[in-house]
A and B are shown apart, each in its own frame.
Chain A
Amino acid sequence: MPRIYITSVFVGDQQKALAFYTDVLGFQKKMEIPLGEHAWLTVVSKEDPDGPQLLLEPDQHPAVGPYKEALAADGIPCASFAVDDLAAEHERLLGLGVRFTQDPLDMGTVKMAVLDDTFGNLIQLVELVE
Chain B
Amino acid sequence: MAWFKRSKENIASDSTKLELPDGLWEKCPGCGEIIHKKQLEMNFWTCTKCEHHFRIGSSEYISILFDKNSFRENDRKMRSADPLGFVDSKKYSDRVNETMKKTGLSDAVRTGTGKIEGREVSFACMDFSFIGGSMGSVVGEKISRAIDRAYRHRIPMIIISASGGARMMEGAYSLMQMAKTSSRLARLAEEGIPYFSILTDPTTGGTTASYAMLGDINIAEPKALIGFAGPRVIKQTIGKELPEGFQSSEFLLENGFIDLIVQRKDLRSKLVSLIDFCK
Is chain B a partner of chain A in the same complex? no
